Amino acid sequence: MGVFCVKNTCYFERSLEIVANFATMKEVDYIVVGCGLASIAFCEQLRAHNKLFVVFDDGSQQSSIVAAGLYNPVILKRFSEVWKAKEQLRLALPLYQKIEKELDIKIDYKLRILRRFTSIQEQNKWFSAIDKPSLETFLSTQLVKNSNSEIEAPFGFGEVLHAGRIDTEKLITSYKAFLKQKDCLIEDTFHYNKIQFENGIVQYKNLKASQIIFAEGFGVKQNLYFNHIPLTGSKGEILTIKAPNLKIDFAIKSSVFVIPIGDDLYNVGATYDNEDKSNTPTEKAKEELLLKVKNFIKGEFKVVNHVAGVRPTVKDRRPLVGRHSEQKNLYVLNGLGTRGVMIAPYVANQLFQYIENDKTLDAEININRFDLMIMS
Ligand SMILES: Cc1cc2nc3c(=O)[nH]c(=O)nc-3n(C[C@H](O)[C@H](O)[C@H](O)COP(=O)(O)OP(=O)(O)OC[C@H]3O[C@@H](n4cnc5c(N)ncnc54)[C@H](O)[C@@H]3O)c2cc1C
């Protein structure tokens, strides 16, 4: 399984010791709190650089596991490029491929995304957007006509190129199993008030670490050190429907997404709710999704699953990454918002380079941008 040797000591053996001898003090380079998309991308940095680490996860947040998992370089409401889309894809796709190979799983599904047009004006906007240099590689110049009687799309579709879907549920469950097998996953709640600081290192119960990375998604609201970061949180719900006659192998983006996941199953979503911060699926969201999807999917289907999670969203739509202003061993990796699949590898790389190699964090993602705003 590759890079698990640290200071001539087998990672597996050392990490096994950590858990087996949890009663005695053990040392690691990093403690990572959370095992969602943000954490996994950071753990991959740690593995690539032979760092010794443990991960805590208590399953209290569901965002990564319920996500539709799309990577899509275009904002389909406004026909504009996603922030740093090319840089993000350049890091994200090889990372997920590496994980596929090492864990022997399939998670990356290339997928055509078709944006359903609702008028001639929208078609025109699409074809004007193609002229923007930032979008020409991502938008097809062909108008796609609808030939499926189960779908209503009289104005046709525009096709997004270089898009796909990561099966995040499989990624998270397989990665947790992988960490567990290496004895470096602790399935427990991390208690912030138990951190002690001494001689430039941190101690948490029986662990000593050089650094702690907090990647708890919306769970950061409980974090004594970082609960001030301006995370708003937006609950999203997704239905899985069985539609035996639909027979499409592309995703449709209209008022909601319809995404094929195999076996005549499709994910339909998602909703956005900025008030409710629970992971509980609601009838209200189900009705909203059904109303929207029936607007363009005309055939019979039945709902077979319904899930919910809270996206870690930020008002300025940029991630929240950085070091605690006083406790220099504590870092946050959060604010992945609605696009964690693409952003996570990019911000994990930024944070690792910042900690280990003193590289400057992108000003747009640094948590200190809010302090600077207050001062100015
Ligand atoms: C319905 C829905 C659809 C989405 N669709 C897409 C999509 O198509 N494409 C896309 O890119 N993004 C999508 N997203 C957004 C994406 O899911 C998020 O950007 C991403 O999951 C955030 O990952 P994270 O690791 O920061 O947080 P999380 O996934 O919330 O992970 C945090 C982890 O930390 C753990 N944790 C928290 N507190 C503690 C603690 N004290 N102790 C131990 N463990 C703790 C939690 O249990 C959790 O496992 C969607 C989100 C939702 C809800």
Q: Which CATH class is domain 110-164+232-311?
A: alpha beta
How far is 314 from 257, CA to CA, in rounded Å? Answer: 22
> Which pLDDT belongs to residue 373?
56
How far is 6 from 92, CA to CA, in rounded Å? Answer: 26
Q: Kindly report the number of other CB atoms within 10 A of residue 200's CB atom.
A: 8
Q: Kindly report the number of other CB atoms within 10 A of residue 125's CB atom.
A: 14
> Which pLDDT belongs to residue 77?
86
Ligand 1 centroid–CA 57 distance in Å is: 12
Take atom 2 of ligand 1 and give the residue whose Cα is closest: 67
**pTM of the predicted model as reported, rounded to 2 decimal places:** 0.93
Q: Mean pLDDT for each consecutive 10-residue tract of the chain (376 residues)?
A: 36 48 81 98 98 98 98 91 95 98 98 96 93 90 95 97 97 98 96 95 97 98 96 97 97 97 97 97 98 96 98 96 96 98 98 98 95 57
Does the Cβ of 67 fall within 6 Å of ligand 1? yes
Where are the domains positioned within the chain? 3-65+169-230+316-375, 110-164+232-311
Does the Cβ of 322 fall within 6 Å of ligand 1? no
Does the Cβ of 341 fall within 6 Å of ligand 1? yes
With a CB cutoff of 8 Å and minimum separation 6, the contacts of 280 are 308
> Which pLDDT belongs to residue 23?
58
Take atom 1 of ligand 1 and give the residue whose Cα is closest: 236
> Which pLDDT belongs to residue 331?
98
Radius of gyration of the chain, Cα coordinates, nearest whole angstrom: 22
> Span 3-65+169-230+316-375: which CATH code?
3.50.50.60
Residue the block writes with tokens 């996570």? 344
> Which pLDDT belongs to residue 20?
46
